[in-house]
Amino acid sequence: PSVSMPENLYPQPASKLLPDWYKNTDSYYTKEKKPTHDNVIPETIKKCLPVFDAITSGFIIKTFADVFVTQNPNEIYYSWNSKLENGHDPLEFHKTAQAPQHPLRMGDNPYPKWHNPWSIKTPPGYSCLFITPLHRDLPFSILPGIVDTDKFITNIHFPFVLTNTNFEGLIPIGTPMAQIIPFKRDSWKLSIGTEKDQKEQQKYFNI
């Protein structure tokens, strides 16, 4: 980071920060692995591997200050009670004019941007996808982006919008701010499958 920071605010693997709703969900909605009367195994989302892989992929960066959101009919206000030791605020702002037609714009309010005190470096050929932490109940959504973090090695900040435009309240310190998913850059070509491919796929469903 650009300054010292408590260890509890360090970035962590997403697998170490499972959301409470997921941890508290039973694997089977009948509480046991027993087929129902129609011979269906009563699995819940807890047994869905794509969801598990999404929640646990990459790393999580957290907010480093309490941020309070208040509103009047025409404007959204953000306030906070602490800064980093180098004087950085937890938020910066982009003018609405910088993305006037973005589908998530909040009227004429500027786009708030989480200040990220961490620089990110990946091996040559690897970039990072920055997204809102997946499958979490958050009052905000960052605008996704991809950065070549093997070349652009500096602090990357995260513009966001409120997911509920009427939200007022506290976004507490330590809230998951962004999920970082590193990936290897590569060139891909699109091809449309043939009848042979379709038959191969059908074998999978007939297992």
Distance CA 110, CA 98 (A): 9
pTM of the predicted protein model: 0.87
Calculate mean pLDDT across residues 130-153. Answer: 96
Q: Share the mean pLDDT of the chain.
A: 90
* Distance from chain centroid for Cα 207: 35
- Cα(63)–Cα(181) distance, rounded to whole angstroms? 18
When pLDDT is cut at 50, 70 and 90, the band that residue 177 belongs to is very high
Most confident of 11-15, 94-98, 189-193: 11-15
Average pLDDT over residues 26-46: 84
64-119 pLDDT per residue, tens:
999 999 999 889 999 998 877 667 889 999 999 999 999 988 888 999 999 998 99
Supply the pLDDT for residue 86. Answer: 65
pLDDT the model gives residue 82? 80
Lookup: tokens for 110: 């500027």
Distance, CA of 45 to CA of 41 (rounded, Å): 12
What pLDDT does 85 receive?
A: 64
